[in-house]
């Protein structure tokens, strides 16, 4: 397909957007999704949309529950007992991993707890390097794990300070590694606010050069950006499946553990991480699975995992490389239109301009970002506001087309040019 780049200014007319849609090999994918009536949905990095495939997978499991009840654990097709492992196997190619390294279980926050805790124990508890632009739950969980080991987070949770308040450079991480004795580097693959895609292989190498482990929160990249965790030597990773993977609200999370850590003890052990072959012998000694499966904790929440089976059919049918190609084309187009149509109205692009350093969303900065987001929502354009000044626009390649991006930019222009945002109240605090 034609990939516009932010350097060659694309024509800013609707006709050109239609041409891009006509040339889009993934255009038909959106037929599989339910877009809420009258909405333009630019929020797929918060909660991906429901596909017919995901809904059918959930219905199938509900039917199995009705027909088989307890026998569903063994007699459902596929059985429920191995659901975490099986969905992990299906997800492994998306992160460039052998099947045994990936499992679906718990939530992302719980997976940070168990993996960081386990790695701290295995590596000799010490210091974790994060950054000051992280999603908050990462810091909460790591600080709690440090405290449980008698380590003061004020001393042992070190945050790289972003120089520009938007991005974290590999150089800044290198400087922090020189200054502190770090045991685990834990970074996002994509920053949730600015959308910067960090250089995961370079950070992994740096961590290893400093005798530290490299772990990643890949919530904003899995399903829209390809990864090669095995090849890059990443130690561990966690991610959500309800964002670009469209697994449904609160869907189970994914985790990756490099095979060289298959023998470490889970910090949050539970019977679902037991060796499956002997789990029902009900012995009190814990014999963990000999792969990433050991990091599961309790019974797999079957109904929260079921839609992911259908959702993964969609991702695999499209192909992660094609999804990335379309995603880059969409964000390049959005950045170019923002420069052309919005820059004179106080908007600026807070996301890296190099597409290789960009995830699936674009941060549009504006002093009135909050009220602009409210005005967009009033027009059925679903975006996220992220304090203090970001309108986060995520054109998911699964169901957003170029013409929709074009219309959203025209609405952004109208709302600022005609001060439509003044019709909305300023932010009053609390939940946004
Ligand atoms: C980067 C990142 N990590 C973690 C989470 C949340 O994880 P959980 O599913 O445990 O709530 C989010 C949610 O948006 C996120 O953006």
The residues facing 358 across adjacent strands are 196
Q: CA-CA distances (angstroms) from residue 140 to 113, 145, 176?
A: 9, 9, 20
Structural domain contains residue 48:
no
Question: What is the b/e burial string over 246-268, where b = at least 16 CB atoms within 10 angstroms of the residue's CB?
Answer: bbbeebbbbbbbbeebbebebbb
Q: CA-CA distances (angstroms) from residue 346 to 311, 389, 417?
A: 38, 11, 10
Q: Where are the alpha helices (DSSP H) in 164-222?
A: 170-179, 200-209
Matching residue, tokens 């993996």? 115
User: What residue owns the CA closest to ligand 1's atom 14?
Assistant: 46
How many residues appear in the chain? 432
Structural domain contains residue 430:
no
Give the per-residue pLDDT at 3.
Answer: 52
Give the whole-angstrom CA distance, residue 347 versus residue 363: 10
Annotated active-site residue 242? The verdict is yes
Among 316, 351, 382, residue at a domain's last position: 316
**Ligand 1 centroid – CA 240 distance (Å):** 6
What is the CATH number for 215? 3.40.640.10
Give the per-residue pLDDT at 7.
Answer: 54
pLDDT beneath 50: ranges in the chain: 2, 6, 430-432
Cβ atoms of residues 188 and 216 within 8 Å: yes
Residue 21 sits in the same domain as residue 65: no
Give the per-residue pLDDT at 427.
Answer: 84
Catalytic residue among 16, 135, 140, 424: 135
Among 316, 351, 370, residue at a domain's last position: 316
Annotated active-site residue 217? The verdict is yes
Positive/negative CA dihedral, 130, 136, 141, 145: positive
Residue 21 sits in the same domain as residue 94: no
Strands 157-160 and 184-188, bridge-based pairing: unpaired
What is the CATH number for 380? 3.90.1150.10
Annotated active-site residue 370? The verdict is no
Residue 241 sits in the same domain as residue 139: yes
- Collapsing DSSP states into helix, strand and coil, what is residue 350? coil
Domain that holds residue 330: 14-32+319-418
**Ligand 1 centroid – CA 46 distance (Å):** 9
Cβ atoms of residues 408 and 40 within 8 Å: yes
Nearest to 376 by CA among 354, 395, 391: 391
Annotated active-site residue 392? The verdict is yes
Asked whether 219 lines ligand 1 (CB < 6 A), one says yes
Nearest to 121 by CA among 239, 233, 269, 256: 269
Give the per-residue pLDDT at 281.
Answer: 93
Asked whether 169 lines ligand 1 (CB < 6 A), one says no
Structural domain contains residue 47:
no
Asked whether 391 lines ligand 1 (CB < 6 A), one says no
Query: What is the count of structural domains for the chain?
Result: 2
**Ligand 1 centroid – CA 340 distance (Å):** 33
**Ligand 1 centroid – CA 20 distance (Å):** 33
Residue 232 sits in the same domain as residue 173: yes
Matching residue, tokens 């992280």? 134
Annotated active-site residue 243? The verdict is yes
Cβ atoms of residues 49 and 315 within 8 Å: no
Give the per-residue pLDDT at 432.
Answer: 34
Residue 274 sits in the same domain as residue 189: yes
Give the whole-angstrom CA distance, residue 38 versus residue 40: 7
Give the per-residue pLDDT at 297.
Answer: 98
Residue 113 sits in the same domain as residue 237: yes
Give the whole-angstrom CA distance, residue 106 versus residue 250: 10
Asked whether 107 lines ligand 1 (CB < 6 A), one says yes
Among 295, 316, 337, residue at a domain's last position: 316
């Amino acid at each position: 397909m034609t990939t516009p780049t932010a350097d060659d200014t694309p024509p800013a007319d609707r006709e050109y957007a239609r041409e891009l849609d006509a040339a889009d090999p993934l255009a038909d994918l959106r037929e599989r999704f339910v877009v809420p009536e009258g909405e333009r949905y630019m929020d797929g990095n918060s909660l991906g949309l429901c596909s017919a495939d995901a809904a059918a997978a959930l219905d199938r499991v509900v039917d199995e529950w009705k027909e088989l009840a307890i026998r569903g654990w063994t007699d459902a097709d596929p059985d429920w007992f191995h659901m975490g492992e099986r969905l992990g196997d299906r997800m492994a190619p998306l992160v460039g991993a052998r099947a045994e390294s990936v499992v679906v279980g718990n939530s992302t926050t719980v997976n940070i707890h168990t993996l960081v805790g386990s790695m701290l124990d295995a590596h000799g508890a010490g210091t974790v390097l994060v950054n000051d632009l992280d999603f908050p739950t990462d810091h909460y969980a790591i600080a709690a794990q440090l405290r449980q080991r008698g380590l003061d987070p004020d001393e042992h949770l070190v945050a790289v300070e972003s120089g520009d308040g938007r991005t974290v450079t590999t150089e800044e991480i290198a400087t922090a590694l020189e200054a502190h004795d770090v045991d685990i580097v834990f970074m996002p693959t994509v920053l949730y606010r600015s959308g910067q895609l960090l250089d995961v292989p370079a950070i992994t190498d740096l961590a290893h050069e400093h005798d530290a482990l490299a772990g990643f929160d890949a919530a904003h990249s899995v399903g829209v950006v390809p990864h090669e965790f095995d090849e890059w030597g990443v130690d561990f990773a966690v991610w959500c499946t309800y964002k670009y993977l469209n697994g449904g609200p609160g869907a189970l999370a994914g985790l990756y553990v490099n095979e060289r850590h298959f023998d470490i003890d889970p910090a949050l052990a539970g019977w679902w991480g037991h060796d499956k072959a002997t789990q029902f012998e009900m012995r009190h000694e814990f014999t963990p699975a000999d792969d990433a499966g050991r990091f599961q904790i309790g019974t797999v929440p079957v109904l929260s995992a079921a839609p992911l089976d259908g959702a993964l059919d969609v991702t695999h049918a499209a192909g992660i490389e094609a999804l990335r190609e379309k995603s880059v084309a969409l964000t390049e187009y959005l950045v170019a239109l923002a420069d052309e149509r919005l820059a004179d109205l106080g908007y600026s692009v807070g996301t890296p301009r190099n597409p290789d350093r960009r995830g699936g969303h674009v941060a549009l900065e504006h002093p009135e970002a909050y009220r602009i987001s409210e005005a967009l929502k009033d027009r059925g354009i679903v975006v996220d506001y992220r304090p203090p000044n970001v309108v986060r626009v995520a054109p998911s390649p699964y169901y957003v087309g170029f013409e929709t991006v074009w219309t959203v930019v025209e609405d952004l222009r109208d709302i600022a040019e005609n001060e439509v945002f003044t019709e909305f109240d300023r932010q009053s605090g609390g939940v946004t």
